[in-house]
Amino acid sequence: MLNSTRLGQLDVDEGTAISFPRGIPGFEKSVQWKLFHEEDDSGAPKAGVVFLMQSLNDPDVTLPVTDPSVFGINYEFVLSDSEIAELQLEDADDLAVLVVLTQKNKVPQMSSAVPVENVGANLSAPLLINAKSRKGMQKIFLGPEAKIEYRPR
């Protein structure tokens, strides 16, 4: 049982937690996370929505994340052998890529909704999650080591 500052009382199945062995930069002590999302009729996550990643180590830390395709972004990158080992990745199809959302301008506290023009994403440091092993890491791109392709809608 976890009492999240943002999401309230949560009954979390530890078997569904995502482990970030090195934490996430800025949240190094948060190594266990739970991804919350709306589901479609088949039980799969709804596309194009914001997911919430709740730290299971710190009830005050919740990160809004989404699929980068929401922004028309498609990543192409090569993982090192150590990154593949950290993710316990055997099949590239098991890899999910998410971006952490940011708020560009301060929104008044009384408003629970953030206008879309105030939302951005950290595109230079996506979260990589192996859906099968439930291991994750943040891949930080410095310079031209990744091709980020923008597809306007």
The pLDDT value given to residue 111: 43
Which residues pair with residue 27 across a beta bridge?
24
Domains with residue ranges and CATH for the chain: 2-150 (2.30.290.10)
Q: Which of 12-21, 32-41, 43-52 has the lowest mean pLDDT?
A: 43-52
* pTM over 0.75, yes/no: yes
Model confidence over 65-111: pLDDT tens digits?
999 988 888 888 889 999 999 999 999 999 999 999 987 665 544 44
Q: What is the pLDDT of residue 70?
A: 83
Q: State the pLDDT confidence band at 128, using cuts at 50, 70 and 90.
A: very high
In one-letter notation, the amino acid at residue 86 is E
Pairwise CA distance, residues 139 & 54, whole Å = 19
Please name the residues in contact with 30: beta carbons below 8 A apart, sequence gap of 6 or more: 20, 23, 24, 55, 56, 57, 58, 61
Report pLDDT digits (tens) over 98-111: 999 987 665 544 44
